[in-house]
Amino acid sequence: MNLTGLSSRQEIIRELIIDSLIPSTFLPEMCCVLDVGSGAGFPAIPLKICRADLSFHLMEANSKKVSFLRQVIRLTMLQGIAVVRGRIEKNRDLLDPEGYPVITARALAHLSQTLSWCAPCLMADGMILNFQGNRFEHALKESADVMKQERLFLYKSIPYTLPGKDSPRHVLIFKKC
């Protein structure tokens, strides 16, 4: 079963693992991170390995991916990481009712939809980290109404280029006021 669409080891390291670790230094210490649409565990599992002080809730709707994530967690003996089977837009009752200080979303949905789904689960002054390509300005403009409605603002844009790639990428960090 190919969960990522990538076939070579170099692609997986570059486009999934390295990409997942880009925001690691921007995350607060000792908090619980919600990773929405976890898929094969990116960015949550590499971040958990790199940042053992963080705990993670991985939300995934696909039962095969949920089984895969649970098996990876068992085999790696990672502590402070749990998988929640469900959809952010339908199953918020499965999540921490007090919300999360950090939510990550990588390849979940269009930016405005991602922000609309994630913002209700975010604590005040919390952060949503969203991974984008080099053409994110249009998505930002389209998300202006959702950002205003959910009291979000773009706190920081982290530009980077992956090894062997020409086009820049960005991690967008939104904060809730």
* Beta pairing class for 152-160 and 32-36: unpaired
For residue 1, tell me if it sits in a domain: no
* Banded model confidence at residue 7, pLDDT cuts 50, 70, 90: low
On whether residue 4 sits in a domain, the answer given is no
Does a structural domain hold residue 35?
yes
Q: In which domain, by residue range, is 34 found?
A: 9-176
Q: Rounded to whole angstroms, how far apart are CA atoms 161 and 167? A: 7
Q: Would residue 76 count as lying in a domain? A: yes
The pLDDT of residue 5:
58
**Contact criterion met (CB below 8 Å) for 45 and 68:** no
**CATH classification at residue 40:** 3.40.50.150
**pTM: predicted TM-score of the whole model, two decimal places:** 0.92
Average pLDDT over residues 11-25: 83
Specify if 114 maps to a domain.
Answer: yes
Domain assignment present for 3: no
- Total count of residues recorded for the chain: 177
Question: pLDDT tens across 74-110, in order?
Answer: 999 999 999 999 999 999 999 999 999 999 999 899 9
pLDDT bin (cut points 50, 70, 90) of residue 133 is confident
Share of the chain above pLDDT 70, in %: 92
Kindly state whether residue 2 falls inside one of the protein's structural domains. Answer: no
Mean pLDDT over residues 112-123, rounded?
97
For residue 159, being part of any structural domain is answered with yes
Q: Give the chain's domain count.
A: 1
- Residue 55 parent element (H or E): strand 55-60
| pLDDT greater than 60 at residue 2 | no
Q: How confident is the model at residue 6 (pLDDT cuts 50, 70, 90)?
A: low
